[in-house]
Amino acid sequence: MPRELVATAPRTPILREYDEGPLGEKDVRIKSMLSAEKHGTTLAVYRGLSSLNEKRFDPQMGVFLPKDAGTGQTLSSFPMSLGNMTVGTVTEIGNGVTRFRRGDRAYGYLPIREMHAVKEDAVMRAPSELKDEELVCIDPAVVALMAVRESCLRIGDAVAIFGGGAIGLMAVQISKLSGALRIISVEPIEMRRRAAEKFGADASLDPKDLDVGLEIKRLTGGKGVDVSLETSGSYHALQSAIRATCYGGVVVPVSWYHGEPKGLDLGEEWHFNRQIMVSGARVESEPYRDHPRWDGERVYDAVVELFRRRRLTVDGLLNPIVRFEDSVEAYRMIDERPEATIKLGVRYD
């Protein structure tokens, strides 16, 4: 039987067997080749820190409400599948499938497991020009593209990007493509700072060593950056982003924050500098501010085209890449030793 990587409880990853079951008429079966994880969002749930562990989001009212056992909603997120995106080969198709043939490469939002049986509309045909590594990094690229677009970054602007994970490193590249003349990366992990410089950052700062908000003001002649993108999920980083941004500038919190906002003080620079804060850069939250010209489909199409034209690179972004057999220990590593990782990739034999 095929196996999958799941968490049975907070911080408890295991490999377990599962039953695929028969294919439906519109289903395709995919043999995995490469998977990747979304460290920020999934790790918060994996650690038991997500607000979704105890609450539910009401899309009609746009508010979080307590979970009600009477609605049949579970109060636990476990067991939970691990993994964000997967690319693989179509090995079998249902009688009604029209978009795929056996042997096609397909990719989509699929967890870390050896085989997938899904509706054909749940996955996409892989463009022949794109490498597997690019396909599983489409998710951080679309989030970064949304963040830069939401910030209304213009040619000549200075931008600070807080967090050097996959989204932050994609944001460095997209900010450069968008015409930023100065890009400052803020990241405590040295490996990620070096990656930011390789991808186009003009400077990379370690927030453990200095007051980065003040240092960014100094680097910009006392003015601050026009745009700050906060991709780390740290309230301290969000405070530094506000502190580093110029009067009337734009702050885009890209991350999904959790817990008490320790380190965030809206009575300081935020109160005095009349900045604009654009909440979130969620690709799922449609319609966008520039609707109907841009929607989710156009965002994904734009990222695929940027990869196709080699305007974006993922060289070194998947680090480490491990064998599926080693994925349990690798998952513990990205949780417990983030200084050794950027974005986890999993290959299958």
User: What would the 3-class secondary structure string for 154-168 be?
Assistant: CCCCEEEEECCCHHH
Return the H-helix or E-strand segment holding 125: strand 124-125
Phi, psi angle pair for 41, to nearest 5°: -65, -50
Q: For residue 285, what pLDDT is reported?
A: 84
- Helix 138-151 crosses helix 166-177 at what angle (to 10 degrees)? 50
Return the H-helix or E-strand segment holding 151: helix 138-151
Q: Can you point out the beta strands (E) in 1-54?
A: 3-7, 13-17, 27-36
Instruction: Map residue 169 onto helix, strand or coil.
Output: helix
Q: 139-277 maps to which CATH number?
A: 3.40.50.720
Q: For residue 205, what pLDDT is reported?
A: 98
Contact 36, 342 (CB under 8 A): no
Q: For residue 230, what pLDDT is reported?
A: 97
Rounded CA-CA distance 144/166 in Å is 9
Identify residue 159 by its one-letter amino acid code.
V
Task: Tell me 338's DSSP state.
Answer: G
Rounded CA-CA distance 270/264 in Å is 10
Distances (CA, A) of 244 to 146, 238, 248, 295: 21, 10, 12, 31
Phi, psi angle pair for 345, to nearest 5°: -115, 145
Q: For residue 169, what pLDDT is reported?
A: 98
Rounded CA-CA distance 292/225 in Å is 30
Identify residue 86 by its one-letter amino acid code.
T
* C-beta neighbour count of 310 within 10 angstroms: 9
Q: How far is CA 113 from the centre of its chain?
A: 20
CA distance from start to end of the chain: 15
Q: Which tokens belong to 161?
A: 């990007």
Report residues of the chain scoring pLDDT below 70.
52-53, 68-76, 280
- Average pLDDT of the chain, as a whole number: 93
Q: For residue 76, what pLDDT is reported?
A: 58
CATH fold, domain 3-137+316-347, is Quinone Oxidoreductase; Chain A, domain 1 (3.90.180)
Contact 227, 157 (CB under 8 A): yes
Q: What is the DSSP string of 132-149?
A: HHHHTTHHHHHHHHHHHH
Rounded CA-CA distance 107/117 in Å is 12
Contacts of 297 (CB under 8 A, 6+ apart): none
Q: What is the DSSP string of 195-259?
A: HHHHHT-SEEE-TTTS-HHHHHHHHTTTS-EEEEEE-S--HHHHHHHHHHEEEEEEEEE-S---S
Q: For residue 70, what pLDDT is reported?
A: 45
Q: Which tokens belong to 69?
A: 């056992």
Q: Where are the domains of the chain?
A: 3-137+316-347, 139-277
